[in-house]
Chains A and B, each alone.
Chain A
Amino acid sequence: MSNTPFPGQEAAALPPRALASHFHDLSQQKAAHDLGLWIFLATEILFFGGLFAAYLVYALLHPGPFFEAAAETEIVIGTINTAILLTSGLTAALAVKAAGQNRHDAVLLLIGITILLGLAFLAAKGYEYWLDIHHHLYPTSPDFPLDAPAAKLFWSLYWVMTGLHAVHMTVGLGVWAVIWEMARRRSFSLSDNSRVRIAGLYWAFVDLMWLFLWPLLYLAGRAG
């Protein structure tokens, strides 16, 4: 009746050597991968943390002009980007889940959507930067529109914080692109290997940082 194999039938061949020689078993290997990435993420918290601390100090010292400057950011683009990132967080989490169940097509599709959403985020961010520059909202601009000196402190932090986040997005997109291509070639076992899970952790972390950047840079200073 049909030449088409049943779903899953064609994916029987398991790529060799999912288990590295220096681990006893796959669960130990997975644990080591998770622990390693979480130690890295702890350092990343502090990487962003220095900027959060600077924000905290300047917001406390100059609340008035600091939050007036915050009201000048492009809240519409920032909010759209929040929605894009939340959605990409969902597709990444589902990709990790699908990888755990060895669902090759679903993993490719979900990582693909995640990459497209990430690119959409960066495109919107780029357009926003273009608008900001157009409005002279960078601290060294001779036509910087805000008078209070602390406004420049805010805008310095805006560029550094969103810039650092965009760098992380770019790294995450590169990681996803490599994993997508490796998965397409079936060069590693989706369920035995940690690659998709580790990339998902990193992506969720970048998502997490934006969850705090959004209120700090876009929602601050909007009410009345």
Chain B
Amino acid sequence: MSAESEKAGTAAKDTMSARAKRAFEGLDLFPEVTVFAALVGLAALSLVLALLPLFGSLSLVVSLLIAGVMAALVLIFFMHMRRAMTVVVLSGMAGVVWLLILFGLTLSDYLTRAGPFGSSIEPPPAVGRVGEGERGL
């Protein structure tokens, strides 16, 4: 209290930390700080799991699942989805729905081409096969 009852002249010359302390006085830092701690924890988990040879080729899927959880935390707490109106949630989620349509229709092409995965961009036999290095990729 005594720090606050200084004269106005000296208050103007307050140290940065004293000003910062006053600026945050009584500002409730929760749940934001808890959410931040959870995000950092999940990022660390994602990093460790990505470096360890646990999941083989599914490693990236695991990383992306964790990213999905982190994204949900950001959406709900930092982007206020928990208090948002239905129409706002719907318009945001419309972007995700169209994204899934984009992925779905794209894969419905690539996944249904002839031949095993990885060979499906080979040109049809009538055109003739070109060597791997000459494709100009």
What residues of chain A have their CB less than 8 Å away from a CB belonging to chain B? 1-4, 7, 31, 34-35, 38-39, 41-46, 49-50, 52-53, 56-57, 59-63, 67, 79, 82-83, 86-87, 89-90, 92-94, 97-98, 101, 103, 105-106, 108-109, 149-150, 152-153, 197, 200-201, 204-205, 207-208, 211-212, 214-216, 219-224
12 contacts between A and B (CB under 8 A): A31-B88, A39-B91, A42-B95, A53-B103, A59-B60, A62-B118, A89-B39, A94-B27, A106-B24, A215-B63, A215-B67, A219-B60
By the criterion CB–CB under 8 Å, are A86 and B27 in contact? no
Residue from the list B11, B24, B64, B102 in contact with A215, Cβ < 8 A? B64
A39 vs B106: C-alpha distance when bound (angstroms): 24
By the criterion CB–CB under 8 Å, are A89 and B36 in contact? yes
A150 vs B137: C-alpha distance when bound (angstroms): 7
A150 vs B27: C-alpha distance when bound (angstroms): 51
Residue from the list A35, A53, A89, A216 in contact with B106, Cβ < 8 A? A53
**0/1 per residue, B102-135, Cβ < 8 Å to A?**
1100110011000001101100000000001101
- Residue in A closest to B8 when the chains form the complex, CB atoms: A3
Q: How far is the CB of A41 from chain B (nearest CB, A)?
A: 6
A201 vs B84: C-alpha distance when bound (angstroms): 12
Q: How many residues of B contact A (CB 8 A)?
A: 71
The secondary-structure label for the interface of chain A is: helix
By the criterion CB–CB under 8 Å, are B88 and A215 in contact? no
Residue from the list B33, B51, B120 in contact with A90, Cβ < 8 A? B33
Point out the residues of chain A lying under 8 angstroms from B117, CB to CB: 60-61
By the criterion CB–CB under 8 Å, are A49 and B99 in contact? yes
A43 vs B53: C-alpha distance when bound (angstroms): 37
Residue from the list A49, A60, A153, A208 in contact with B75, Cβ < 8 A? A208
Point out the residues of chain A lying under 8 angstroms from B66, CB to CB: 215
**0/1 per residue, B82-96, Cβ < 8 Å to A?**
001101100110111
A33 vs B110: C-alpha distance when bound (angstroms): 40
A141 vs B64: C-alpha distance when bound (angstroms): 30
A97 vs B29: C-alpha distance when bound (angstroms): 9
Q: How far is the CB of B38 from chain A (nearest CB, A)?
A: 10
By the criterion CB–CB under 8 Å, are A219 and B47 in contact? yes
By the criterion CB–CB under 8 Å, are B91 and A35 in contact? yes
By the criterion CB–CB under 8 Å, are B19 and A105 in contact? yes
A219 vs B120: C-alpha distance when bound (angstroms): 27
Point out the residues of chain B lying under 8 angstroms from A212, CB to CB: 64, 67, 71
**0/1 per residue, B46-61, Cβ < 8 Å to A?**
1100111111110110
Q: How far is the CB of A137 from chain B (nearest CB, A)?
A: 16
Point out the residues of chain B lying under 8 angstroms from A103, CB to CB: 23, 27
By the criterion CB–CB under 8 Å, are B43 and A105 in contact? no
By the criterion CB–CB under 8 Å, are B102 and A53 in contact? yes
Point out the residues of chain B lying under 8 angstroms from A152, CB to CB: 137
Residue from the list A38, A197, A216 in contact with B60, Cβ < 8 A? A216
A219 vs B59: C-alpha distance when bound (angstroms): 9
Point out the residues of chain B lying under 8 angstroms from A39, CB to CB: 91
Point out the residues of chain B lying under 8 angstroms from A215, CB to CB: 46, 50, 60, 63-64, 66-67
A43 vs B51: C-alpha distance when bound (angstroms): 34
